[in-house]
Amino acid sequence: MPPPAARRSRRRLPVAALTAVLAAVTLGAPSPASASDSAADEDYLIGRGISDVTGEAAETGMMGYSSFDQKTSGIHQRQRSRAFVVVDRTSGKRVVYVNADLAMIFQSVRQGVLARLKERYGSLYGEENVLLSATHTHSGPGGHSHNIAYNLSVLGFQKKTYQAIVDGIADSVAKAHQDLKPGALSLGTGTLTNASVNRSRAAFDRNPAADRAAFPDAIDPAMTVLRFRQGREDVGAINWFATHNTSITNKNTLISPDNKGYASYAWEHDHEGVRYLDDAPGFVAAFPNTNAGDMSPNLNLKPGSGPTEDEFENARIIGERQLAKAREIHRDAKPVTGGVDSRLAYVDMEDVTVGGAYTPDGEEHRTCPAVVGASTLAGSVEDGPAIPLFEEGMRTPVAPILEALRVDTPSWLATCQYPKASLIPTGLLSDVLPVTPKRLPLQIMKIGELHLVAAPGEFTIASGLRVRRTVAERLGVPLDRVLLQGYANSYSQYVTTPEEYDAQNYEGGSTLYGRYTLPAYQQEYARIADSLRAGTPLDRGTAPPDESGRQFTFQTGVVYDNPPSGKAFGSVLKAPASSYALGSTATVEFATGHPKNNVRRGSTFLEVQRLENGTWMRVLDDGDWETTYRWTRLNGLTGTSKATITWRIAPDTAPGTYRIVHHGDAKSLLGRITPFTGATGTFTVK
């Protein structure tokens, strides 16, 4: 992983000097964009918060690529949850928006977060006014669903990762709640054309001309930015753009928030001076996805390729492109008004009768019990192929493969799902065990003039367009004031148009509820939009059950840890050189324990420290771009392992005296977990 290209200088200042600079920036003259604003414009209470959601950093299957071989082995950057609370000061209504560096938001996570919020705030935050979304990184630990299909490659439910995610999201909301102050909203739009490519063009081209005309380059280039201000201070932004968060491939085993996480980090850390471990309020920059189902960041249409052949460099570049456009739109965003509100209903997506107003032929149709199609297991060759022998475009069952899997799909269900090559009838299996979801939360949230259609899946750009058109028409608002917020509140795989479904590419094979899945969504979102516009109550429907009591895991835990012979935990196994030049790389090794002993949420496994006036000051940790923490098992029988810490020394690093510190935890034979810290000797950077 090469060092990042030239960015804004990040030379580390002594704490006193840094404090003075930040005070001058905060207390100085307002920026031109906010100079004319006054308290009279502060129609809202606005709060923002960030918290760590990083789970188990070693020997845990990763979520996204369905690869049994992809298991965590350390951290490139930590995953974070970013929350915003907005209160309409006139009506008193409030909403919560969260975007987290996760592959998906599963219903299990939503249930856990809502339970935490209820414990803290009673009925203030609940099902209707809380929207949880994910960036869709494929480089985080999995096992946090209650549906077997999404835990299978992870070897089951991973309790510590689940707890880290739920606790972290709840904490980010709590910080936003505590941060509430009078403020204002601004909104801007723009286009970005060099950060995505259509990975399923043949399917997209089957859509009607009216859909294709909306996307001349077969991509959705729209970026929408919601700007948050408290008084005269800019405190955050949400930057929606459709591209898969898969610049980093399934060969990687380090936890990373990928391109969207890099964009957030660069804005917060590099431009706004946020230091996450300081646990102080700072600028919050969220980069959520919209209808990214067929949008890939791999511009050369193969994993890890485009713009370069280095996957981490690609994550940085695609992140930088999103960041640059977002900051441009943010600068020119215009003030908006309007209240906040939200509606949510649970819908049994396996049993929806869809009226002819939403179907291509104008006839009534039904959705089906969920079925995973054979082409699903092929994966997306542009972002990460999965299982051999399965190919995109498969329309008929491959008898030998299906016989090997010993799964029988009833003829009536195969007919309902036609032309899908039905592989696994997960909807029928879910009557016994929770394999894939059945009842899904559908939500529309209003924040000022913006309306978010919270969708529990991955919608293609044409699917998202149709939903947006439906909702905009029912609400009576411009189309650009309605966004499809993907990866929200639950997860049910892909949603294609009926025309795309017929191609049975990966996305079509992963559209669980049959050819009329999208029309069903359109119909149900129209019903929710009508309630929101009229201000009338909405039938909530039946929520899915809590499946936490039916979870299992095949993943072994930590038995015990031992340091190498003659060493103690935290001992340096590989020392740094005496000096390093700017732009070079420092690599050190420590005797360590298993990182599963303590995920260190809100903390770090490493520090790069600089000697300043006789005191060691932390300048980098395991959430920073330039560092990596990697865990390696040396001997399974003796429980011996090492931690390798790498620092790619950026060209703008302040010269001086440094050391590298490792924090870890070790488990004894009796099960006691004890923290330890080790430090290298000093070295210079010049």
Which residues lie across from 224 on neighbouring strands? 189, 240
CA gap 186, 449 in Å, rounded: 10
CA gap 398, 439 in Å, rounded: 30
Q: Which of 161, 126, 201 shows the shortest CA–CA distance to 52?
A: 161
CA gap 176, 245 in Å, rounded: 25
The active-site residue out of 153, 186, 264, 296 is 296
CA 149 to chain centre: 19
CA gap 532, 471 in Å, rounded: 10
Geometric angle at alpha carbon 40, from 38 and 41, rounded to 5°: 75
DSSP character string of 617-640: EEEEETTSTTEEEEEEEEETTTTE
E strands present in 498-614: 572-574, 579-580, 585-592, 606-612
CA 195 to chain centre: 17
Is 652 strand, coil or helix?
Answer: coil
Q: Is the dihedral of CA 178, 183, 189, 192 positive or negative?
A: negative
**DSSP H or E stretch at residue 530:** helix 517-534
CA gap 466, 157 in Å, rounded: 35
CA gap 154, 56 in Å, rounded: 12
CA gap 574, 562 in Å, rounded: 18
Is 611 strand, coil or helix?
Answer: strand
Beta strands 94-100; 130-134: pairing state: parallel
CA distances from 646 to 137, 291, 622, 670 (A): 22, 36, 10, 33
Around 287, how many Cα atoms within 13 Å sit in the side-chain half-sphere? 32
Tokens 């929101």 belong to which residue? 532
CA gap 571, 465 in Å, rounded: 57
Which residues lie across from 343 on neighbouring strands? 444
Tokens 């968060």 belong to which residue? 245
> Is 296 marked active-site?
yes
Tokens 């940790």 belong to which residue? 621
CA gap 304, 138 in Å, rounded: 13
Q: Which of 144, 160, 208, 153 shows the shortest CA–CA distance to 57?
A: 160
Q: Is 180 exposed, middle or buried (0-12, 13-18, 19+ CB in 10 A)?
A: middle
Is 563 strand, coil or helix?
Answer: coil
Which two three-digit tokens encode residue 53? Answer: 């959601």
**Phi and psi for 139 in degrees, rounded to 5?**
-120, 40
List of residues 6+ apart from 325 with CB closer than 8 A? 190, 191, 192, 223, 241
**DSSP H or E stretch at residue 685:** strand 683-685
CA gap 519, 359 in Å, rounded: 6
**DSSP H or E stretch at residue 61:** strand 58-63
Q: Which residues are catalytic?
A: 296
